[in-house]
């Protein structure tokens, strides 16, 4: 049930694939709407989309701090915030 077959007959895992797309779309949206900013050094801030008053401060040298704050980072080891910071750093959107 966790496999999906696309129109080319290729099977792939349903849930992880979908999760990746959602994370990626959210991350690009965060960058596009200027919710990501560089603080200093390896520190970046990302505004939460669900709570307008919340800002995540992400230190790329210490990602464990973000895992205390963000369920996505805690359970998946990745989240739209971390992706958004990487996209922001590359200067893409």
Closer Cβ to Zn ion, 49 or 93, answer by number: 49
Q: Does 36 bind Zn ion (CB under 5 A)?
A: no
Interface pick for Zn ion out of 23, 30, 79, 87 (rule CB under 5 A): 79
d(CA 41, CA 38): 8
Residues 1-25 as b/e (b if ≥16 CB within 10 A, e otherwise) read: eeeeeeeeeeeeeeeeeeeeeebee
Task: Looking at residues 47 to 76 of the shown chain, list those that interact with Zn ion (rule: CB under 5 A).
Answer: 70, 72-73
Residues near Zn ion, by CB under 5 A:
70, 72-73, 79, 81
């Amino acid at each position: 049930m966790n496999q999906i077959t696309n129109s080319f007959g290729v099977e792939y895992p349903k849930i992880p694939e979908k999760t990746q797309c959602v994370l990626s779309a959210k991350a690009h949206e965060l960058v596009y709407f200027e919710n990501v900013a560089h603080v200093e050094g390896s520190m970046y801030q990302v505004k939460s989309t669900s709570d307008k008053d919340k800002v995540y401060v992400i230190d790329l040298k210490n990602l464990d701090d973000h895992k205390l704050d963000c369920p996505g980072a805690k359970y998946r080891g990745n989240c739209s915030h971390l992706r958004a910071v990487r996209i922001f750093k590359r200067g893409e959107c």
